[in-house]
Structure 1
């Protein structure tokens, strides 16, 4: 799983899973192209902007890429009957439009034999009330990755998706239910409560654990894997 000298695009690199992957790849000696709308304090070429803004991708000079991670995302929760259209568009805009624009730019730049991973979610394969926009965006991202895998196959370009369940990342802070409970008992205890309630293994993943799985999918160790969805959810979707 050597990434020394490889050029890798990562969106959502400022925090969470994207940051964890960037940190691992930096240690491995990869050349990083990092995109986020928040400031990034990691080594590499930085591009600050909204992944759902097509103008951003017209400005970013990717050059030949070996790998790409489509990771930028936002969360939100509301029942369908109470979901504002603006909120629907905000979530779909980043999670699906942004994934498309990122993947389109990446696939135009990936060298033959390159690889990409799209970060989806177990919410894209298991229905739950109150997450229509988020779930729809992640289900769409999964199918986008699968179509991209078929389109990239003639050049040996592999595209896979990873669908985490609960991961202890800052994205949870935008979910009102979690934010309220975290204010009451603390973030760590709130994560533990949710994990025990919803996950057979009784724990959520760390960003570093998901990062290790992504590195496997990007690497030559997964040379015959494409169009796959790695569900990494502690049994939540069973």
Structure 2
């Protein structure tokens, strides 16, 4: 590819499983092991049920996601960014693309970030690390220090709309790119999954890299089922050559 080729990469939970962060829908995903865990990341139950919030805080405390490290898949995209114009559109909230060295301005976090928490009443933000310290100190459902409101991760939980500004930016990138690579995403969560169709309709070549079939495989010029931590570096080596 030429140095002017724009590559858009949509990443889902599958790129981070090798960093110890479980996905939701995969064969070994969180919801397969515990279907009730879906409530912990769904806005309705989270806001109305204190027990759900307490379980959610324990899940965040025990998951250790804040201590997760980037893997070979994340690092491969950093290498690609050094070779070609690249934008990462991520459904993940773990911040591992930036931690791997991807410039923050080139990462669109479609579903927000788990590195911060936000009050649902006054919208003030603080760090997730501070909130988890409060949980460890004995607060099972820490309220906002400013107004006493409910704290939630600064993520788009299931049942919440995406930020329309972020979505518009992502759609613009999908429409402008020459190559669209979907990595580790089930492509079942909309509107993020719909970016694939936007890119293909605009003439982009599509590569789907996911362990399980997706609804968009038939639109792809290449479908990869190999482990992402080995397959993505191999793809990057080809694309950047």
TM-score in terms of structure 2 length: 0.41
TM-score in terms of structure 1 length: 0.42
More helix by share: 1
If asked which structure has higher relative contact order (CA below 8 Å, sep 6+), I would say 2
